[in-house]
Structure 1
Amino acid sequence: MSGKVLWGVIFGLVVLNCFTLAYFTKTKDVYTPTTSEESIATVGEESITKQEWLDILEERYGKEILTELINKEVVMQLAEEHQIKVSEEDIEREFAVYQAMNNSKGEGQLDVDEIHEQIRYSILLEELLTKDVSVSEQELKEFYEMNKDSYSIEDSYHLAHIVVETKEAANHIIKELENGSSFDVLALEKSTDEFTAHSGGDIGFVSEKNDFIPKAYIDSAHELSSGEWSKPIRVDTGYAILFLHKKQEGKSYSYGEVKSQIRRQIALEQMQGNVTVEPLWNEVGVKWIYGD
């Protein structure tokens, strides 16, 4: 498996876990101590109690949520025991590559801090699972040379757009923007792109390698500063106005910067990519209500 493919698999797991973690974070508020018979909704004359709601949540999601909470605690305890730490530089690098490779929509449904913490968690897990795997320096360097493209990202731009049918309509939107109207609101109200209108026209981080966007978008993005919008751009379905949220500078990472990640990649490949916490449970002695 190539470095690029395996890195994509690992980041895919990060994304999945990010959404799970966000769900758990929000779920914590559900269990605020209250009277179990408290009504949380009424339908006509009938009430739905908080206890009824909690019972269904536990039945449907209880084991899954508890498993993930245990997994996180297992990883944190073992990382401390083995003195494994993750630097902020490692987190920022993997986050930058994740955005560039996955057309990430900025913060999206998750706070950036939450994503960073999940990346930290994922790296700690990988380090724990591979801590006893030996990889030679020669193998590490050969892997880096063969997969250099995987450790290089080009300039990318977090863009939003509003698409309308005519240039006149596009110019009218620009006037509204100049008068202080919100780009997000105008996208929701005016954009004919139904896939992005509801999210303020957000199309995520894009670069020259992205085939799904017009080349004119990148050409225009080169000229914009964060918080600026473009002139009308001719597209297949009419005219578009771009908005630049943020520019992310491209970078090529040196062997020394990614050496530890390469070691994890090779080790995980040898383990057939089985990135799960359960094999570590016995090391800390987990007992739970779903156990034997």
Structure 2
Amino acid sequence: MDKKQLWYIIAGLAILNAITLVMLLAKPAILEGKKETVAEIGKESITRQQWLTELEERYGQETLRDLIDQEVVRQMAEEYGIKLSDKAVERELTIYKAMYSSPGNEPKSEEKWKQQIKYSLLLEELLTKDVQVSDEDMKAFYEQNKNLFDVPASYHLSQIIVETKQEAESAAKELKDGSSFAALAMERSIDEFSANEGGDIGFVTEEDELISPEVISAAKSLKPEEWTGPVKVENGYAIVYLHEKLAGKKYSFKEVKNQIRRQIALEQMDIPVSARAFWNDAKVSWFYGEASKK
């Protein structure tokens, strides 16, 4: 499985977490004293039950299936004695952040990142546990794909782009007075793509041709949660905000050997990267049918 496919899993799990919170943790007293009413449109109302029924019809089966998959992977990993080191999770986290994340799709917390990466890695380990890959093949893969393990210094940034220096200075003053960077970006920024994400442009590197070199240069001088004053860019002036900075890192063959083993094994097996293969072993039964109905 390539890195983009694994990122889709992570993004999907992030969406799953949001849907699950809505469906399973919604409180009865969403609007206290309104008898389960969650919205009013003129004289009409939408009840909490109508809302939850609609959510279940749209997302219920897939959400439950994904929750089962997560528990199946946890139980099967425990049964086979498969464990992950903190270093392995941190390494994958660094690579995904620097090279594969995109604005608006990231989990909201570091812990969510790690949970989702751990799930993906455990699933890969389970699927490839009986596959042997020679050191020769792994070393050849490493030599041919060193760029995958050479992570450049990267910066998670947000930006506000305006036409004039005066507008940029005004935005900087509002930020100093306590205004939300994301709100100002959506309101003021002329860069439509990032404005729609509250100014977030994700993790970027010096090699990123879509980002002004001046923005990267300004980011280098910042500490997390700091922003710049006006920075002259091609289409105006930018205010740059730093969320997180990742130092560049070159991973040795020894550090990524097991990651390479899994990747080669999955390519050789040519099977879907899915926990469904273990449903029968985990004796799954569920609301929508038998475990064999995948």
The structure 2 residue matched to 1:263, chosen from 261, 264, 272, is 261
Q: 1:289 aligns with which of 284, 287, 290?
A: 287
State the percentage of identical aligned residues: 47
Partner of 1:251: 249
Structure 2 gaps of 5+ residues are none
Distance change (3 Å), C-alpha of 1:178 and 1:21: closer
Deviation, structure 1 residue 50: 3.6
C-alpha displacement of 1:119:
0.7
Equivalent residue of 1:65, what SS?
helix
Q: How far apart are the structure 2 equivalents of 1:132 and 1:33?
A: 51
- Specify the alignment match of 1:23 in structure 2: 19
With structure 1 as the length reference, what TM-score do the two structures score? 0.87
Comparing 16-25 and 136-145, the one that deviates more: 16-25
Q: CA deviation at 1:122?
A: 0.8
Q: Work out the CA distance in 2 between the residues paired with 1:33 and 1:239.
A: 47
CA separation in 2, counterparts of 1:26 and 1:48?
16
Helix, strand or coil at the partner of 1:184: helix
Match of 1:113 in 2: 111
Aligned residues: 286
CA deviations on 1:155-188 (whole Å, 9 max, x unpaired) are: 1011111111112222333344455544334323
CA distance in 2, matches of 1:87, 1:66: 28
After superposition, what is the alpha-carbon deviation per residue over 1:21-52, rounded to whole angstroms, capped at 9, x for unaligned? 33224422138699xx9544455555544433
Q: Deviations over 1:209-259 (max 9, x none)?
A: 212111221222222333333342222321112122221111011112111
The 1-side partners of 2:28 and 2:88 are apart by 36
Are the equivalent residues in 2 in contact too, given 1:106–1:158 (CA < 8 A)?
no
Separation in structure 2 between the aligned mates of residue 190 and residue 62 of structure 1, nearest angstrom: 39
Is residue 153 from structure 1 mapped to residue 151 from structure 2 by the alignment?
A: yes
Distance in 2 (alpha carbons) for counterparts of 1:229 and 1:53: 41
Shift of the 46–90 alpha-carbon distance from structure 1 to 2, 3 Å rule, reads: same
CA separation of 1:230 and 1:19: change in aligned 2, threshold 3 A: same
Q: State the shift of 1:275 in Å.
A: 0.3
1:157-168 map, 5 Å: 157-168=155-166
Q: Is the 8 A contact 1:103 1:206 kept in 2?
A: no
TM-score for the superposition, normalised by structure 2: 0.86
Residue segments in structure 1 that go unaligned for 5+ positions in a row: none
Q: Distance in 2 between matches of 1:47 and 1:18?
A: 30
Equivalent residue for 1:133? 131
